[in-house]
Structure 1
C-alpha cells in the first residue's frame, strides 16, 4: 500500500468535510514490521504486522477535541470512519471549556523525509544470527521494517516521514544463570559491525563463568558502557530539558539551568533530529530542528511544546507533549574503544544499569542496580564478574567533576518499545570513564 497516498487522501476528506469556522490537525502513524523472537538460539516465533492509525484534532472558537482511530486499509471504510469521527468531535466541542493554553501552529509549511536504504531480507538476518548463536543460549527479539509518520493541518502544514530501521535486542545466558545483554540497531544493517558486537558479548559471556565477587560499599573507579549511560540519560530526560519543568522548578537539571551548577566541559548534548529516525515535525504540527541542550557542560536550549509556549511566552520548537528528547546525541570524546580497560586500570566495567529512580531529584541524584555483564578489572584485565550492586550518585558528579573521558566510538540505541507500535526515539552515546562512582550496597 502507498502509505503517503493513503494519508493525503484522508487529509482531502477533512478539508472537504470541515465547516468554514473549524480547523483541524491530523497525525498519521503506520508501520510494516517483522517481529522475530529467539530462544535458546533458535526462532520460536515469527510474524509480520501492518497497521496504520490517525489522530484527529478539531478546533473551533478556542475549544478542541481529539479522537484516534485505527485504519482498515480500505479507502471507502477509512473515509467513512474519518467522517464519522469528524461529526462526533463536532458534537463534543460545545460541551468543552475554552483551553487558555491552546496554541496551534497556524503557519503553512511542507517537508518530506525519506530514509529508504533497503534492509536485508529478514530470512538472511535470521540465518546470520542463528549461525552466530550456534551452541549458545541466546534470547532476543529482532524487529525491522519501515515506519511512517505524517502531519497535516487546515492551515496548510504538510509533513511526511518514512524510515527503514531494525533493532535486535538480545541476551546470551551462561549455564550459571548470569547473562550478557546486547543490542544492535540502526538504519543500515552492517554484517561486520554486528559480528563485532556479537563477539564482544560472547567474550564477556566467558568471563561470567569465573567466581563472582561482591564489593564493599564505597567509591570505585568505573567505566559505563553506552547502554549503562543510556539509563542515566533516560532519567535526566525525565523533565531535565523540559521548559515546563524548568519554569516550575521541577527539573532534575534545575541547578544547571539556573546557572548554579555545571557539568564537565566534555559533556555536550543535542536533540539531533537531522538524519535520525524521528520526524522533523511534531504531532502538534511544529517543525523541529536540532537543539543544543548542553554545550561544554553548560545549559543551552530547552524543549518547548505548544502549551509551554503559551503559558510561559516561549517560542515552540517542536517538542512532544511530554517535552522529552527523542533524538538525544552526546558528543564523542577521545578514549579509543581498545584502550578502555587499560585506561580504567583497576575498577568496575559496567555494561548495564537497571531499575533507576531518583533518590534526590533536585540534586540530580539517582540510584539503581548493576546488572548484566558488570566486571571487576585489575590492572587493565577483567578478573571477575561482580554480583549485583546498588549505586547512588549525582549526575553532577558522574557527568561533572568525576568524568574523566568519553569514548570516540558512539552507539546508536533505538527504543525497543513496541507498545501499540514501534517507536522512533533514539540516543547516540559514547561510553564514560568515571573517576569515582558510589556504591551503597
Structure 2
C-alpha cells in the first residue's frame, strides 16, 4: 500500500468529509501529529530511549447555531481512519439535535490558505548522545531529550486550509551536586550547534562548582537581583494566565487590568509580542482563524490583546487567532543592552536567580506575585559569586519587577521551548532576555 505523508493523510480525510457533509451542516477539522524521539538520562547514562508517532483530529460539527466536538485518535490506515471519521460524524449528528443554540458561536467563514513548513534537518541522535556523554563525564546528570517534527493542520467546510510543520529539539537537564543541590538548564531550537550547546553546558557546570560552598542565609528584605531568562519566564508565564486575554480584560479579572485600563505602566524597556513569525507555533488557530504577530506591550504600555472567537462574539471584537485560554503561545520580549559578560558586574551585590517555581498570585488585581527561588540561586558581592542561597520566598508586584525596579535587560535572549509532553509535545515557546532588578522583596 502506498505510504502517505501526514499532510496527505489529513487532506484525504478533509476531502472525504467535504463530500459526506450535508447542507446546512458545516465542519471544522483540526489535526495534531508528531514523530518524536525521546531519550531519558540518569547519572549521565541513557536509561530509556524510544520513538512516538501519533496523530489525532478535533472534529467540530455545526448546524443551525448548534455545535458539538469529538476527539479522534488516528491509526495511519486510510480506510480505518475514514471509518472512524464517518462514525464520529454520525455520533455528532445525533448529539446536535439535543443541544441548544450557542449565542457565542462565531466560526470563521473565510476561505484562507496557509502553509508553513520548517523542515530544517535535526541533529543525529548518536551525535547528540556523544556530545552529552563527553560533556557530562564524571557528573550526575538527569535530563530529557526530545526531538522531531510537529504537525498541525486545519480545514473547514468554508474552504479554509492550513498546514504547519516545525522541526525542533529540546534538551532539558539538571546537574546534581553530591550535597543534593542542583543546577537546571536547557538547550532548544531548530538548529543544533555543538559550540552553543557546549557553552550552555559549561555555564551550568561552572554554577555547579559554587553549590559546594556553605549556604548563605538571607534575612527577609529587599535585594538587588538578576533574573535569568528561565526565572523571568516563570514571572511572565503567570501573568499570561489571563493577563492579555480579551475575556479577562472585559470581565475585569485580568492581573494586568490596571495596565490595560491605563492606570499603570511598566518600564519603557518592556516590549512584549506574540511573535508567530519564525516560531514553532502555527499561523492559524484550532478554531480556524489566521494568526499574526501582535504587539501586547509596547514601551511599557498596553497595546493589543489576545482575542478568541467567543470573546469576539460576546464583546463585539475582532478575533485574532487566540486559543481558548487566550494566552500567548509564542511570547517574545525585546532584548536590552546589558551584555552577558557584564551581568555580575552590573548586579554588584545581590542575588543571581537562575530559576523560580511555585508561583501564584498573592493579589491578582494588583499583579502581585509570590513564589520560591529554585536551583542555583547565588549571593553575589562586588560582582563575584560568593555562595548559594537558602531557598527563599519572594512577594512582589509585576509593576515593580517589570516597572520602576527594572534597570536593564540582556542583549542576548534565550529560546525556551515548552518541555511538556502531556498527551503530546507542544509548540509553545518563549524568547526572553534576562532582567536586572534594583529591588526584589523576599518575605521568608
TM-score range, shorter-chain basis?
A: over 0.9
- The structural deviation recorded for 1:198 is 0.2
- State the Cα RMSD in Å: 0.5
Find the counterpart in structure 1 of residue 155 from structure 2. Answer: 152
Given candidates 164, 175, 180, the residue that maps to 1:177 is 180
1:68-147 matches, within 5 Å, as: 68-147=71-150
* Distance across 1 between alignment mates of 2:35 and 2:53: 4
Q: Secondary structure at the match of 2:8?
A: helix
* Distance across 2 between alignment mates of 1:378 and 1:419: 41
- The structural deviation recorded for 1:426 is 0.5
Would the aligned equivalents of 1:180 and 1:372 in 2 still touch at CA under 8 Å?
A: yes
Q: Where in structure 2 are there 5+ consecutive unaligned residues?
A: none
* Distance across 1 between alignment mates of 2:253 and 2:178: 45
* Distance across 2 between alignment mates of 1:119 and 1:378: 42
Given candidates 243, 247, 250, the residue that maps to 1:247 is 250
Find the counterpart in structure 2 of residue 330 from structure 1. Answer: 333
Q: Deviations over 1:147-194 (max 9, x none)?
A: 000000000000000010001000000000000000101111111110
Q: Deviations over 1:285-324 (max 9, x none)?
A: 0000000000000000000000000000000000001101
TM-score, with length taken from structure 1: 1.00
1:293-308 matches, within 5 Å, as: 293-308=296-311
1:385-396 matches, within 5 Å, as: 385-396=388-399
- The structural deviation recorded for 1:126 is 1.1
* Distance across 2 between alignment mates of 1:127 and 1:147: 25
2:279 is the alignment partner of 1:276: yes
- The structural deviation recorded for 1:125 is 0.7
1:29-428 matches, within 5 Å, as: 29-428=32-431
- The structural deviation recorded for 1:104 is 0.2
Find the counterpart in structure 2 of residue 6 from structure 1. Answer: 9
Find the counterpart in structure 2 of residue 20 from structure 1. Answer: 23
* Distance across 2 between alignment mates of 1:305 and 1:52: 25
* Distance across 2 between alignment mates of 1:292 and 1:385: 38
* Distance across 1 between alignment mates of 2:430 and 2:292: 16
Structure 1 runs of 4+ aligned residues shifted over 3 Å read: none
* Distance across 1 between alignment mates of 2:227 and 2:30: 38
Would the aligned equivalents of 1:13 and 1:83 in 2 still touch at CA under 8 Å?
A: no
